[in-house]
Structure 1
Amino acid sequence: MNVVDFFHGSAYQAEDLLHGIGFLLNVPVAYFAPGVHTFASRSERRGRLVWLNGMAFAGFALLVAGFAVRWGWL
């Protein structure tokens, strides 16, 4: 995993840490609400926890930031 690579490797690369944390923030969405990314109706997805959306958006933002750092945009 990228978080382990960040702390284990000799070159502490920020993109590894950003990718690892971003991925970890997206994991609960797959576990707690696996049907979020399907075409199910809203009534079927009613039991979804609201905080999962915030974690998913933050994780996606960290993943994008990690790619931007890796490609030299930041």
Structure 2
Amino acid sequence: MARKPRFLCLHGFRTSAAILKKQLTIKWPESFLQNLDLVFIDAPYPAEGKSEVEGIFDPPYYEWFQFNKVPNPNSSVFMSFS
């Protein structure tokens, strides 16, 4: 059997991997999803503000960046391309 195509699925601002997974599995038919290897990950930071999906989806919510913090270049969040 051929290997399924793998896709990295990144959620939006102040949502989560679980929310994106729910959204995709509701919208896309199972016959389509079973042919894909979807990888869902959460952003590295807990959301510090209000999420647009509060009241629709349960927390926790995450964000990919935070405006008020200076990033640490030695953090595991950063990748080296050398």
TM-score computed with the length of structure 2 as normaliser: 0.22
Comparing both chains, which one has the higher relative contact order based on Cα–Cα distances under 8 Å and sequence gaps of 6 or more? 1
Q: Which has the higher helix share?
A: 1
TM-score between both structures, scaled by the size of structure 1? 0.24
